[in-house]
């Protein structure tokens, strides 16, 4: 027989809420970028579909033409051209450069150019 059934019930409810919260956080962490950026984007010029891809690393420098160089975890340097929402985030990009912060880039391939559509 339990001595403190209300306390046991309260602890069980708190643990249950914590477990549910962790599950929800995990699901949103895994699917969040897809919800925000989508899995594909349609080119407004020719109507073709492009898969949205993700890369992360540190932005090395930003050029005056709104392009920037990202250094990945493997040391590879990739040149991205800012398009769409990325153009609204130039200040955010500069802050990441100043702080040497890890940056997530969501981009599409347009011929030989990597077009960054969102930077976080």
Q: Are residues 31 and 72 in the same domain?
A: no
Rounded percentage of the chain residues whose pLDDT exceeds 70: 82
Q: Are residues 53 and 9 in the same domain?
A: no
Range of the domain at 32: 5-37
State the pTM of this model: 0.65
Q: Which two tokens stand for residue 108?
A: 């599409």
- Cβ(50)–Cβ(110) below 8 Å: yes
Mean pLDDT of 80-95: 85
Q: Are residues 56 and 108 in the same domain?
A: yes
Q: How many residues does the chain have?
A: 120
Q: Are residues 30 and 53 in the same domain?
A: no
Q: Are residues 51 and 13 in the same domain?
A: no
Q: Are residues 20 and 54 in the same domain?
A: no
pLDDT for 44 equals 54
Domain count, the chain: 2
- Got the DSSP string for 49-102? EEE-EEEEEEEEEE-TTSEEEEEETTS-EEEEEE-GGGGGGHHHHHHHHHHT-E
- Cβ(94)–Cβ(62) below 8 Å: yes
Mean pLDDT of 22-38: 72
Q: Are residues 65 and 114 in the same domain?
A: yes
- Cβ(52)–Cβ(39) below 8 Å: yes
């Amino acid at each position: 027989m339990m001595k403190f059934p209300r306390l046991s019930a309260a602890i069980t409810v708190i643990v249950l809420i914590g477990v549910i919260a962790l599950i929800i956080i995990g699901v949103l962490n895994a699917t969040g970028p897809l919800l925000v950026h989508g899995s594909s984007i349609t080119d407004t010029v020719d109507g073709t579909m492009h898969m949205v891809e993700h890369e992360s690393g540190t932005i090395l420098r930003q050029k005056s033409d709104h392009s920037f160089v990202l250094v990945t975890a493997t040391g590879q340097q990739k040149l991205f051209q800012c398009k769409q929402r990325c153009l609204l985030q130039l200040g955010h990009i500069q802050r990441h450069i100043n702080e040497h912060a890890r940056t997530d880039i969501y981009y599409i391939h347009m011929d030989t150019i990597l077009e960054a559509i969102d930077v976080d």
